[in-house]
């Protein structure tokens, strides 16, 4: 991890006081490995922030429910519905 990124991460962590927010933030950090905000090389994997809240929730419930063993379906295995709602609030506001 480069120094700037580490600094930014620490800064963000200390500004978030609620333990739940930290957990949500950590989950989203993992999502952003693929749904990157910086590089727009791939058009199929969009930055999460560019989506609408309703759309995000609908897609996430779909991925959670489906039995297709796709990328998102596997990623959502340890993530429950409450986590999904918290992610949506975190990303798009309550």
Structure tokens at 11: 């800064």
- Binding of residue 46 to ligand HEC (CB under 6 A): yes
CB neighbourhood size of 16 (10 A): 14
Q: Is 45 in the site for ligand HEC (CB under 6 A)?
A: yes
Q: How far apart are CA 67 and CA 69, in angstroms?
A: 6
Stretch of 3-11, 15-23, 51-59 contacting ligand HEC, by CB under 6 A? 51-59
Helix (H, G, I), strand (E, B) or coil at 35: coil
CA atoms within 13 A on the CB side of 62: 8
Q: How far is the CB of 72 from ligand HEC (least distance, A)?
A: 5
Q: Which of 20, 59, 61, 80 is the binder for ligand HEC (CB under 6 A)?
A: 59
The size of the interface with ligand HEC (CB under 6 A), counted in residues, is 20
Q: E strands within 1-94?
A: none
User: Which residues of the chain form contacts with ligand HEC (CB under 6 A)?
Assistant: 27, 30-31, 33-35, 44-46, 48, 51, 56, 59-60, 70-72, 75, 79, 87
């Amino acid at each position: 991890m480069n120094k700037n990124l580490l600094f930014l991460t620490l800064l963000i962590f200390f500004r978030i006081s609620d333990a739940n927010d930290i957990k949500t933030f950590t989950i989203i950090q993992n999502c952003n490995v693929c749904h990157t905000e910086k590089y727009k090389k791939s058009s199929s994997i969009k930055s999460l922030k560019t989506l609408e809240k309703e759309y995000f929730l609908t897609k996430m419930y779909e991925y959670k429910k489906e039995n297709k063993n796709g990328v998102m379906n596997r990623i959502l295995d340890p993530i429950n519905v409450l986590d999904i709602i918290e992610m949506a609030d975190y990303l798009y506001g309550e």
